Structure 1
């Protein structure tokens, strides 16, 4: 069996286990509803993560400000990914503050932070979650396990299941992000024709 086939089969097993996990489904529903509620009330969805999770955060935000499936007005979403902000804060304060300083600047009560960390231990993502809570916002965490430090801070944790490889968790993370976008569009009646 080749590398591709092994990876596909492993993902089939992971996705099947998640599809049958009632707690996972309930956490997803809670997260989607928090995001829809925030947007309906004029709130903003923020997203952050490191490495591949940053690209997932960017993808989440750009599909909401642009278009996922349905034609609709843009929705308020931002990924914390501006290179000048990240390098300024990292240089002046330290890398662990690159996301939290942005949250402190922009978050308002009722906003939602999608905090992506495969391990649930990334100090900069954890600080962002704490800053969002301090601002009166909601934290939706996506990580391998619900009992991680990030999961302990979050209002909702979408636990993707452990793996020896972070890329497996990020692949599940991307399915969750696409599903959140679909749920948000559906919640606003913008379903694709």
Structure 2
């Protein structure tokens, strides 16, 4: 039980610090506003990340196209996670292009990319952010720190706080993703049933 208790205590400390951080709350509110504005205008939310952040990107998209808490029509969201696309692009162009090629194919002005990178330095996530900006869309970054290459490209950075371990940042990232889903559903007036 020592490992679990230590992890829970560390997470509780991280979550409390984020809950008390006004800049963090403001960035979150801005990100939710950007996303709902895009959806209301017929835009699409794209999401990408590596490893655990890929799983979080998929979770973000599937809850929006399916349901989070309330019964509602599906919302336009996609995770860049198709294995055929990823392996094709990695083989033909290089792994740093696996997300950007998808953004180039699908993004339109007013769309939003949720770019997940615990370090804020992942080359493939950076290229995706650049491609979204070129397409005329907006970038919401979720990262340990705003002072990163990804932070420099983003319209909004949800700064999760540095940690020795990426899994701690990804756990905070998941709470943010769930909260974004809730904010989007609330904004559209879809109440939990």
TM range (shorter): over 0.9
Query: Which consecutive unaligned segments of at least 5 residues does structure 1 have?
Result: none
Find the residue that maps to 1:158 and give its secondary structure.
strand
Task: Please name the residue that 1:23 is paired with.
Answer: 23
Task: Please name the residue that 2:134 is paired with.
Answer: 134
In 1, Cα distance between equivalents of 2:145 and 2:56: 18
Find the residue that maps to 1:119 and give its secondary structure.
coil
Q: Does 1:154 align with 2:157?
A: no
User: What RMSD in Å do the two structures reach over aligned CA positions?
Assistant: 0.6
In 2, Cα distance between equivalents of 1:191 and 1:140: 25
The aligned runs of 1:20-169 (5 Å cut-off) are: 20-169=20-169
- Per-residue CA deviations over 1:138-162 (Å, capped at 9, x if unaligned) read 0000000001100000000000000
- Displacement of 1:6: 0.2
In 2, Cα distance between equivalents of 1:146 and 1:119: 10
In 2, Cα distance between equivalents of 1:71 and 1:105: 31
In 1, Cα distance between equivalents of 2:59 and 2:143: 17
- Per-residue CA deviations over 1:102-130 (Å, capped at 9, x if unaligned) read 00000000000000000000000000000
In 2, Cα distance between equivalents of 1:43 and 1:167: 31
- Displacement of 1:191: 1.9
- Per-residue CA deviations over 1:148-182 (Å, capped at 9, x if unaligned) read 10000000000000000000000000000000000
In 1, Cα distance between equivalents of 2:173 and 2:58: 13
- Displacement of 1:5: 0.2
In 1, Cα distance between equivalents of 2:69 and 2:187: 13
Ranges of 4+ aligned residues in structure 1 off by more than 4 Å: none
Query: Which consecutive unaligned segments of at least 5 residues does structure 2 have?
Result: none
Q: TM-score, normalised by structure 1?
A: 0.99
- Displacement of 1:36: 0.1
**Count of aligned pairs:** 193
